[in-house]
């Protein structure tokens, strides 16, 4: 197998690279601060495209049910 120039496998195993600090806040959050509430199902249902899609599907199901009950 070919070796990659400038890469030594043993160096990586002996000394793993340090993690970079990518945090944007300089002051850590207080431990007693309330956590942000997760957005759940009600948040998803409040989205207009989803409600339009569910409305169209509901109308199609309603029309099929009415057709089966009264026309057939």
- CA 15 vs. chain centroid, Å, equals 34
Structural domain boundaries of the chain?
Answer: 45-72
b/e 2-27 (16+ beta carbons within 10 angstroms → b): eeeeeeeeeeeeeeeeeeeeeeeeee
How many CA within 13 A on the CB side of residue 5?
0
State the chain's mean pLDDT as an integer. Answer: 75
Mean pLDDT of the region 34-48:
73
Of residues 51 and 43, the one with the higher pLDDT is 51
């Amino acid at each position: 197998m070919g070796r990659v120039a400038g890469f030594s496998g043993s160096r990586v195993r002996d000394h793993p690279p340090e993690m970079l600090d990518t945090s944007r806040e300089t002051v850590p959050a207080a431990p007693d601060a309330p956590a942000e509430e997760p957005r759940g199902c009600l948040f998803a249902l409040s989205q207009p495209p989803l409600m339009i899609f569910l409305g169209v599907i509901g109308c199609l199901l309603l029309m099929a049910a009415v057709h089966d009950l009264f026309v057939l």
